[in-house]
Amino acid sequence: MAFLEITDLSSGYGELQILWGVSLALERGQLTALVGSNGAGKTTLLRTIMGLNRPWHGKITFEGRDVTRLAAHTKADRGLILVPEGRQLFTAMSVYENLEMGAFTRRAVSNLKRNLERVYDLFPRLKERSSQKAGTLSGGEQQMLAVARGLMAEPQILMFDELSLGLAPVLVLSLFQVLRRLKSEGLTMLLVEQNVQLALAVSNYAYVLSEGRIGIQGQAAAVRQMDQVRQAYLGI
């Protein structure tokens, strides 16, 4: 049984349908990539899984339980956490306060100190800037903080929406090294990423979303070698 399973999911905004019968599964301890062109529906899918968008049709199961209609905060409390596109930090609050806000789930509250040490180990720059306001950080530092805040919730599944968007290449590589470390530690992750080359290089399994439908899926290494993927997304 998959750790998280999405079956025949449809969703959209108003009368505009974005997702058309999407099915995918996350295996425990694996990093899964979801790639596709702009406007394919990747963010809508993450928001629908999280409960921020209401599904029109289909089913979402987490640890074998139906969570399709649960509110986002309830899913988060169960361990499903989203690092959103655009970071959405509390910019007037300090780095530490943002991290503290991340530790809102029942199991995370009592482990604040331990989790804080963990994220400071992953992102030493955040420790150096713990008292600095989040809004004054660089773009790369803000993305580090967004990831760290997600980890503070002690996620069972951590989802990323456009992790590398707008960042310098050196910072992108640094964040992907963190992904590799989290993967080696057994954290289950779903990565939506515009850098298809890097996403497929770091992931176990991959789905390609095209016009609201899953067009291609398979082991990430195999998907990376498919002609249609190489031509459409890798410029080869």
pLDDT at 235: 66
> Of the ranges 45-54, 57-66, 163-172, which one carries the lowest mean pLDDT score?
163-172
Residue 156 reports pLDDT greater than 80? yes
Long-range contacts of 106-115 (CB under 8 A, 24+ apart): 106/77, 107/154, 108/152, 108/153, 108/154, 111/154, 112/152, 115/151, 115/152, 115/154
> Of the ranges 23-27, 38-42, 218-222, which one carries the lowest mean pLDDT score?
38-42
Assigned domain for 218 exists: yes
Assigned domain for 119 exists: no
pLDDT at 127: 97
Residue 236 reports pLDDT greater than 60? no
Q: How would you classify the pairing of strands 16-26 and 31-35?
A: unpaired
Assigned domain for 185 exists: no
21: domain range?
1-79+192-236
Mean pLDDT of all residues in 54-65: 97
pTM: 0.94
Question: Measured between alpha carbons, how far is 87 from 161 in angstroms, rounded to an integer?
Answer: 9
CATH of the domain at 62: 3.40.50.300
Assigned domain for 103 exists: no
Could you give the number of structural domains in the chain?
Answer: 1
Average pLDDT, the chain: 94
Assigned domain for 101 exists: no
Question: Measured between alpha carbons, how far is 8 from 114 in angstroms, rounded to an integer?
Answer: 39
Assigned domain for 161 exists: no
Residue 209 reports pLDDT greater than 60? yes
Q: How confident is the model at residue 231 (pLDDT cuts 50, 70, 90)?
A: confident
Q: How confident is the model at residue 63 (pLDDT cuts 50, 70, 90)?
A: very high
Assigned domain for 206 exists: yes
pLDDT at 232: 80
pLDDT at 107: 78
Assigned domain for 123 exists: no
pLDDT at 71: 96
Tell me: the pLDDT tens digits for 74-111? 999 999 999 999 889 999 999 999 999 999 888 788 89
CA distances from 33 to 27, 119, 139, 152, 202 (A): 12, 23, 23, 22, 9
Tell me: the pLDDT tens digits for 121-153? 999 999 999 999 999 999 999 999 999 999 999
